Amino acid sequence: MRTFTALACTIAITGCSGTDGDILRTRADGSVTERPRPAPLGTWQIQLSGALDTTVDARSYTVDVATPPSVIAGLHDAGRIVLCYFSAGTREPFRADAARFPASTLGAPLVDYPDERWVDVRDGTVRAIMRDRIIAAAGAGCDGVHPSGVAAFQESTNLDFTRDDQVAYNRSLATVAHALGLSIGLVQVDTALSQELVADFDWAVLWTCLDTNCAPASPFTGASKPVFLVEYGDETRVPAVCPKARSLGLSAIIKRDGDLDAFRVGCP
């Protein structure tokens, strides 16, 4: 079972205090030092399964939030920006905090991941769990967080929260991350939600949009914020993926499939 390393601090949406030499450093004015952030059209990698390949030549790495701090430190030593993934919209049964979710907060199983269930983003315990995950990510050395499942109001969740509830929840995640000096990404949302939240999030992630609609990227690229794109396939897709992605201002990579293992084809 994966485990988390908790950071001993409190957060009132103002930040954690630390001393010189801690991962979190407090300036004289009480603010928290921001960590490195991805840049537009920067190279990147996402790996969420298998033994982590730390040799990929990419500026930004998305890894699981339970990645050991020593591995994250090694990526930093190699000049990488580390973005830590977790699902903010579902209960992942393999997480160490899975038992904290009250039964009343659990909705329908996901179609593609039936072991996971949607969670009620209005619930205070759900928000506390996600806050603690972000705090743990900061304590482990992550530079940013990559929360998925942040457009659940569009799904068949068997929960009755609204789009406004989703927006408020997403902003709460961003507030916690920023208070800790972390960047945060907005993952796989529609154009309207992207436009509404672009001021609150630092980068965005889209999946397989080149053959359909990459419009949700435009609020971020228009604000000179990075957008990461995952397309599926192999090296043969480079001519179809890379020029088009770059013309849209997207940092594209090609992954073999949704397992998101170490396989990666980067755009030149």
Q: Which residues pair with 12 in a beta bridge?
A: none
Mean pLDDT of 240-257: 98
SS3 46: strand
Q: Which residues span the domain enclosing 205?
A: 44-266
Is 148 within 8 Å of 88 (Cβ atoms)? yes
Residue 91 inside a domain? The answer is yes
Closest CA to 50 of 36, 75, 35, 67: 67
Residue 32 inside a domain? The answer is no
Mean pLDDT of 10-14: 35
- 225 or 2, which is more confident: 225
Q: What is the pLDDT of residue 4?
A: 27
Residue 25 inside a domain? The answer is no
pLDDT digits (tens, 9 = 90+) for 97-134: 999 999 999 999 999 999 999 999 999 999 999 999 99
Residue 121 inside a domain? The answer is yes
Mean pLDDT (the chain) is 90
pLDDT digits (tens, 9 = 90+) for 185-234: 999 999 999 999 999 999 999 999 999 999 999 999 999 999 999 999 99
Q: Assign 8 a pLDDT band (cuts: 50, 70, 90).
A: very low
Q: Assign 6 a pLDDT band (cuts: 50, 70, 90).
A: very low
The total number of structural domains that make up the chain? 1
d(CA 22, CA 43): 28
Mean pLDDT of 131-160: 97
Residue 28 inside a domain? The answer is no
Residue 14 inside a domain? The answer is no
Percent of the chain clearing pLDDT 70 (strictly above): 88
SS3 81: strand
Residue 18 inside a domain? The answer is no
Q: What is the pLDDT of residue 33?
A: 81
Helix (H) / strand (E) containing 193:
helix 191-197
User: Could you tell me the pTM of the whole model?
Assistant: 0.88
Tally of CB atoms within 10 A around 221: 18
pLDDT digits (tens, 9 = 90+) for 72-91: 999 999 999 999 999 999 99
Tally of CB atoms within 10 A around 39: 15
SS3 172: helix
Residue 12 inside a domain? The answer is no
Q: Residue 22 pLDDT more than 60? A: no
Task: Give the CATH number for residue 79.
Answer: 3.20.20.70
Give me the amino acid identity at 58: A
Q: What is the pLDDT of residue 34?
A: 86
Q: What is the pLDDT of residue 7?
A: 31
